[in-house]
Amino acid sequence: MSASYDEYEVMDLLQDKHTVKQGFSKMVAQYSQPLYWQIRRLVLQHEDANDILQNTFLRAWQSISLFRGEAKLSTWLYRIALNECLTFLNKEKARASVSLDDPEANVVSTLESDEYFTGDEIQRRFQAALATLPAKQRMVFNLRYYDDLTYTEISEIMGSSVGALKADYHHAAKKIKAYLEEQD
């Protein structure tokens, strides 16, 4: 996060109709990259992640007048982004259920053909293992593992209890480990 970014200043800017655009620009500059990578780890493809990021900020702009500062801006934006990801993943799941393709093979080929993915074989296997997780477990795992958020912060974003999130993370880690061991 930028050292010159002041969350309270930005929240004040967002509350004033004369400075809302300035506040929104600062918010976008601050959160574009972390949100992009959170989305990207869920949907895998650069183009999809960019589209979802744009939708996230569009939804945020449309509802900025409803934001009252009861949660941190990051929490609010992550929640919007995760909802956008869920919508996208559900559409993809419905589309894939019509297809007879092997979803795991599809994930691997997607990663291999993505010019923005620079991971090695281990990273490809890890991403394939992540792709096998149910969406909620994948989100919890990503927020905890990659973003190093506390379970309390994840609870605020996802609207779920800390205990349920710990269980989701534990199950996700076990499934990833089992997948990777099975691939050896």
Rounded to two decimals, what is the model's pTM? Answer: 0.75
Tell me, yes or no, whether 7 and 17 share the same domain.
Answer: yes
User: What is the rounded average pLDDT of the residues 83-97?
Assistant: 80
Domain boundary among 100, 125, 150: 100
Q: Which domain covers residue 85, as residue numbers?
A: 1-100
Indicate the residue among 100, 118, 136 that finishes a domain: 100
- Which tokens go with 113? 């053909």
Residues 5 and 95 in one domain: yes
Total count of domains within the chain = 2
Greatest distance between any 2 Cα atoms in the chain: 59
Residues 45 and 8 in one domain: yes
Question: What is the predicted pLDDT for the residue at 21?
Answer: 95
What does the pLDDT read at residue 52? Answer: 96
Do 61 and 133 share a domain, yes or no?
A: no
DSSP string, 117-181: ----HHHHHHHHHHHTS-HHHHHHHHHHHTS---HHHHHHHHT--HHHHHHHHHHHHHHHHHHHH
Helix (H) or strand (E) holding 13: helix 7-15
Is the dihedral angle over the CA atoms 107, 108, 114, 116 positive or is it negative?
positive
What are the tens digits of pLDDT across the range 8-55?
999 999 989 999 999 999 999 999 999 999 998 888 789 999 999 999
Q: How far apart (Å, rounded) are the C-alpha atoms in residues 73 and 68?
A: 10
Tens of pLDDT along 117-152? 555 677 778 888 888 888 889 889 988 988 888 999
